[in-house]
Amino acid sequence: MADFALRPATESDSAAIKKLIRRVGINPMDLDWRRFVVAVDRSGKMRGCGQLKPHERDVIELASIAVEPEDRGKGIARTIIEHLIAQAPRPLYLMCRSSLGPFYEKWNFHAIGLDEMPAYFRRLVRLASWFMPKGESLLVMRLL
């Protein structure tokens, strides 16, 4: 049996979601708790989270996948991702550091070029080039 369970986030999870997102250094924008699923341990403490984030018409992003650093390698991210993918319409998009591309390929996400991206992602890719660490770029991937 897993040491965690998934459940829909509640309003009382909002502060913990924002804190975890900031701690792991991913996009802290548009963190509406109503779109999140959270992984909680047996005591009810949040150990990870993720959301399906809507953008422009018919554009949904798998986003905000975060796990407490001490809980990585326990299957929490995988369980959150699989749960959200099962609920999501297609196509489903995600953004990540280029070094994480192989991780998401396990679920048949494929990197796409600027010409294939919805406008929201094209804007962010162009902006991200100014802020990404050396050797990294912002990768947009799509699941059909």
Q: Are 126 and 117 in contact (CB under 8 A)?
A: no
pTM of the model: 0.93
SS (H, E, C) 74-143: CCHHHHHHHHHHHHCCCCEEEEEEHHHHHHHHCCCCEECCHHHCCHHHHHHHHHHCCCCCCCCCEEEEEE
Each residue's pLDDT, cut to its tens digit, for the chain (144 residues) gives: 579 999 999 999 999 999 999 999 998 989 999 999 999 999 999 999 999 999 988 899 999 999 999 999 999 999 999 999 999 999 999 999 999 999 999 999 999 999 999 999 999 998 887 777 788 889 999 999
Q: Rounded to the nearest 5°, which phi and psi values hold at 21?
A: -60, -45
Measured CA to CA, the distance from residue 53 to residue 34 in angstroms comes to 10
**What residue type is 27 in one-letter code?**
N
Q: How many CB atoms lie within 10 A of CB 135?
A: 8
